[in-house]
Structure 1
Amino acid sequence: MFDAPAPGQMFRSLAVATSLALLSSCAEAPAQKPASAPLPQASQPAAKTPAAPAQAPVVMPAISFNDWRDGFRREALANGIDASLFDRAFAGITPDPTVITADRSQPEFTRPVWEYLEGAMSTYRVRKGQALIAEHAATLDAIEQRFGVDREPLVAIWGMESSFGQFMGDKSVIRSLATLAYEGRRPAFAHEQLLAALQILQHGDIQPASMLGSWAGAMGQTQFIPTTYNSHAVDFDGDGRRDIWNSSADALASAAHYLQASGWRKGQPAALQVQLPAGFDYAHADADIRKSVAQWQAMGVQVSPQAASLAGESASLLLPAGHRGPAFLVLDNFRAILKYNNSSSYALAVSLLGERFDGGGQIVGNWPRDERPLSRSERVELQESLSAAGYDPGSADGIIGANTRKAIRGYQQRLGWPADGFPTQKLLENLRLQ
């Protein structure tokens, strides 16, 4: 499930698609590498301009796959995995080269946040979600009662993660994770997930041939990684199995269980669109700066009358496209969604899509559609240039995280520009001139 995927945390330790690069600043694309949560699959922003993906250096393992598998087998058995189950799960398993290609791909281009949100809230997705809310009303009633999680954002997550169960991934989870544990960039993480996947099989929830998912090992209608599955998956339909692949009740209840554990507050919005006063200090648009809604209002931030009951709630200011675009106050439920997928664009999409199911979620204001997002190469150049100018953006990895935004704000303040921490072509050009 923008910020350094950070995914993320809930189910995010390994992400699920090919977009490792985040969109600029707070308008990043859904994180591809969650820390321990489900992973968005069908909703990943696609590259706007075709380009050959940059490849990370290839470091081949020192041992053969068979030797690695035999060593992992000994460890799995020592951790309680049945020998016959292991052998059945690994029958015919060989490294999957397409998984390694996906793992090493770093897309050069990303879509601007407004295009991502428009895709997330497509007419089809809104109408399909509305129909499913009506169809599964009784189940959603029971889930709300048990977990205290509102149905609209829950169904929005369902739509974002797998297009309501239509696109869950068709790769063997065991093969994908074995490949990543053997020669991926994050072998320790994949190793942990692979052991957890075997525990799922041993529990009897799914058979090896049916345990399918993304190249990164995210599974089912809610795209859980195995460790998240083991800690939060729920048998809600009462058939004795936690089946997030074939049971929408189990999948939705499992996601609700995770959001509940992440601090979800029933009946409260995740984000409020607001209007900022003239001369506002945009440096306050920082996820680490939290004020009560009343304190934001005292600073001139205009909130809708419907938000009167939220005056005492803690909120941060989000500018997903910088000071030229719409502004939002984001609350505790937004932060709960971030634990599912540590991307502010994803969390905003879930919030707005959930509101759209009830006829809301309309964005007031204009996006800076003339602003072309920086490519990955340009983001790396921006970070290197900021460092050369005496600011500390962190490592030049092309990810616009908290350190890079802080460095951008410092440079913007030096220029006398609105210090919104948002990377732009104009900012990069100015750094080039220096």
Structure 2
Amino acid sequence: MAATAANILRRSQLAILILLTFAVGAAFSPVHAADEGFSRFIASVWPDAQQAGVSRATFDSVTAGLEPDHRLPDLILPGRPATGAPSQAEFVQVPADYLKEGSIARLAAEGQRLMRKHESTLKAIEKRFGVPATIILAIWGRETDYGRYALPYDAMRVLATQAYVGRRKDQYRNEFIEGLLLLQRGAVSRRNFRASWGGAVGLTQFLPSELAKHGVDFDGDGRVDIWSSVPDALASAAQQLVNKGWQPGLHWAYEVRAPAHADCTEGVPEVRKPIGEWLRAGFAPVRGQKLSAAEREQSASLLQPEGIHGPSFLTTKNYFVIKEYNFSDLYVLFVGHLADRMTSPLPFATPWSSSTQLRSRDVEAMQRHLTRLGLYKDKIDGKAGMLTRAALGAYQKSAGLKVDCWPSDGVLRAMNAAR
């Protein structure tokens, strides 16, 4: 019995030793190593921050206790699987889900109320910048639900993490330094410096470097405050659009009905024609809308967000200016249509289809196949944008398939069979 008790004691001691070994090992896991690497990374930023004008006191105050947030999307973490592309609604939802009538109607009604509340400010902004009040209100509504949406992340932690292990390290290194400068100037308190996962801040969602370029002190209090000053936030959004090429008096897009013989592969920015030429080819403004001679002379490109399914649009230069704010066709359609709805109750004339969205990795597989065939020359990103849809249409033509310029399971199966 004594020998048995001794054996049990030895086994217990061995088990405790094993547990302690695992505990010590965990303390020196890749996460701990990554934290040490993060500290070295932060230290490496100091010379560039100093050269940009950041004081040592500001740098030390902001970075004290700062840790990376490994839960963010779009990271490449040592020793771990990549966190994958971000699940932004603009890139994973079909139009029917993203452009829900209920959401647009609610935001349009609130936009009308805010238009009355901020009437004098909006008129002054429109007079100075030439951007309609409805457009900048729509941006505010889409970005933060007119300030109701509470941004979930600490901005400096996001910027530092993306600079350390994100996919665009150089860009975010600069954004981190710009964030330090914002805090140093007192533009925002650290407590209120909240951001999206991508580091965009304020009521109208600016990256710090964009705020440095386009920020406007419209309320005249001596500082650019896009966190609590509606005039500053809206004027800054207008200034950004102007700086990126906004043309006053030019409507963003016209919904049209496409003729049966329309070629969806023409739906790329490079194919631009006067609107009058599109109309002569059989495209017709919806609801019998009559366009002026000046509007018919405007250059436009074709946009079919669901290929031949759903609504079609003739998009002007201002469409692509809004797209500089957020590089997504669905985003621009939401903002443009929301702006229109603030002055007209009419929804899209053509309903969105019941199309389904392929998984990002399936769209990536399509893009790789299209690249090998020489039909696609843009990023492999799993997003079915204009260039991807046009390339799919070209593939469908060459393969003898129905040409609809939409990434479906049927097209994916045809590609897999061809390989």
TM range (shorter): 0.7 to 0.9
When residues 127 and 164 of structure 1 are mapped into structure 2, their CA distance, relative to the original with a 3 A threshold, is same
Are 1:77 and 2:77 an aligned pair? no
Say whether the 8 Å CA contact 1:352–1:361 is kept in structure 2.
no
Number of residues of Structure 1 aligned to a counterpart in Structure 2: 375
Are 1:376 and 2:360 an aligned pair? yes
Deviation of residue 294 (structure 1)?
1.0
Matches of residues 223-302 of structure 1 in structure 2 within 5 Å? Answer: 223-302=205-284
Are 1:332 and 2:321 an aligned pair? no
Rounded Cα–Cα distance in structure 2 between residues aligned with 1:136 and 1:142 = 10
SS in 2 for 1:243: coil
Q: How high is the TM-score relative to the length of structure 2?
A: 0.82
Moved more, 233-242 or 302-311: 302-311
Rounded Cα–Cα distance in structure 2 between residues aligned with 1:215 and 1:110 = 16
Deviation of residue 424 (structure 1)?
1.8
Deviation of residue 153 (structure 1)?
1.2
**1:21-46, Cα deviation, whole Å (9 max, x unpaired):** xxxxxxxxxxxxxxxxxxxxxxxxxx
Query: In structure 2, which of residues 338, 356, 360 is the aligned counterpart of residue 353 of structure 1?
Result: 338
Are 1:319 and 2:301 an aligned pair? no
Say whether the 8 Å CA contact 1:213–1:219 is kept in structure 2.
yes
Deviation of residue 123 (structure 1)?
3.0
User: Could you tell me which residue of structure 1 aligns to residue 69 of structure 2?
Assistant: 96
When residues 69 and 283 of structure 1 are mapped into structure 2, their CA distance, relative to the original with a 3 A threshold, is closer
Query: In structure 1, which of residues 339, 348, 366 is the aligned counterpart of residue 351 of structure 2?
Result: 366
Query: In structure 2, which of residues 119, 130, 145 is the aligned counterpart of residue 148 of structure 1?
Result: 130
Query: In structure 2, which of residues 394, 397, 407 is the aligned counterpart of residue 413 of structure 1?
Result: 397
Say whether the 8 Å CA contact 1:276–1:301 is kept in structure 2.
yes
Q: Select the structure with the greater relative contact order (CA < 8 A; seq sep ≥ 6).
A: 1
User: Could you tell me which residue of structure 1 aligns to residue 85 of structure 2?
Assistant: 106
Say whether the 8 Å CA contact 1:315–1:332 is kept in structure 2.
yes
Are 1:177 and 2:159 an aligned pair? yes
Query: In structure 2, which of residues 190, 193, 196 is the aligned counterpart of residue 214 of structure 1?
Result: 196
When residues 381 and 76 of structure 1 are mapped into structure 2, their CA distance, relative to the original with a 3 A threshold, is closer
Of Structure 1 and Structure 2, which has the larger fraction of its residues in helix?
2
Say whether the 8 Å CA contact 1:264–1:333 is kept in structure 2.
yes
Say whether the 8 Å CA contact 2:267–2:390 is kept in structure 1.
no
Rounded Cα–Cα distance in structure 2 between residues aligned with 1:396 and 1:264 = 29
Are 1:65 and 2:38 an aligned pair? yes
Q: CA RMSD in A?
A: 2.5
Say whether the 8 Å CA contact 1:409–1:420 is kept in structure 2.
yes
User: Could you tell me which residue of structure 1 aligns to residue 408 of structure 2?
Assistant: 424
Deviation of residue 419 (structure 1)?
4.0
SS in 2 for 1:329: strand
User: Could you tell me which residue of structure 2 aligns to residue 129 of structure 1?
Assistant: 111
When residues 146 and 395 of structure 1 are mapped into structure 2, their CA distance, relative to the original with a 3 A threshold, is closer
When residues 427 and 137 of structure 1 are mapped into structure 2, their CA distance, relative to the original with a 3 A threshold, is same
When residues 285 and 406 of structure 1 are mapped into structure 2, their CA distance, relative to the original with a 3 A threshold, is closer
Rounded Cα–Cα distance in structure 2 between residues aligned with 1:264 and 1:361 = 25
Rounded Cα–Cα distance in structure 2 between residues aligned with 1:275 and 1:71 = 56
Say whether the 8 Å CA contact 1:372–1:425 is kept in structure 2.
no
When residues 259 and 387 of structure 1 are mapped into structure 2, their CA distance, relative to the original with a 3 A threshold, is closer
Rounded Cα–Cα distance in structure 1 between residues aligned with 2:224 and 2:331 = 26
**1:238-257, Cα deviation, whole Å (9 max, x unpaired):** 11111101111110010011
Rounded Cα–Cα distance in structure 2 between residues aligned with 1:411 and 1:423 = 11
Moved more, 142-151 or 268-277: 268-277
Rounded Cα–Cα distance in structure 2 between residues aligned with 1:267 and 1:193 = 34
Matched AA of 2:165: E
User: Could you tell me which residue of structure 2 aligns to residue 55 of structure 1?
Assistant: none
Rounded Cα–Cα distance in structure 2 between residues aligned with 1:162 and 1:182 = 27
State the identity %: 34
When residues 297 and 110 of structure 1 are mapped into structure 2, their CA distance, relative to the original with a 3 A threshold, is same
Say whether the 8 Å CA contact 1:107–1:376 is kept in structure 2.
no
Unaligned runs of 5+ in 2: 1-30, 77-82
Query: In structure 2, which of residues 295, 305, 308 is the aligned counterpart of residue 310 of structure 1?
Result: 295
SS in 2 for 1:139: helix
Matched AA of 1:405: R
Moved more, 270-279 or 349-358: 270-279
Are 1:400 and 2:379 an aligned pair? no
Rounded Cα–Cα distance in structure 1 between residues aligned with 2:396 and 2:251 = 32
When residues 381 and 183 of structure 1 are mapped into structure 2, their CA distance, relative to the original with a 3 A threshold, is closer
Rounded Cα–Cα distance in structure 1 between residues aligned with 2:411 and 2:135 = 36
Deviation of residue 127 (structure 1)?
1.4
When residues 402 and 360 of structure 1 are mapped into structure 2, their CA distance, relative to the original with a 3 A threshold, is same
Larger Rg, first or second structure (1 or 2): 2
Rounded Cα–Cα distance in structure 1 between residues aligned with 2:341 and 2:54 = 46
Moved more, 198-207 or 314-323: 198-207
SS in 1 for 2:72: helix
**1:100-151, Cα deviation, whole Å (9 max, x unpaired):** 6778343689221121111684332121111111111111011111111101
When residues 119 and 81 of structure 1 are mapped into structure 2, their CA distance, relative to the original with a 3 A threshold, is farther
SS in 2 for 1:209: coil
SS in 2 for 1:307: coil
Matched AA of 2:178: A
Unaligned runs of 5+ in 1: 1-57
Say whether the 8 Å CA contact 2:268–2:387 is kept in structure 1.
no
Rounded Cα–Cα distance in structure 2 between residues aligned with 1:391 and 1:284 = 13
When residues 296 and 100 of structure 1 are mapped into structure 2, their CA distance, relative to the original with a 3 A threshold, is closer
Matched AA of 1:201: L
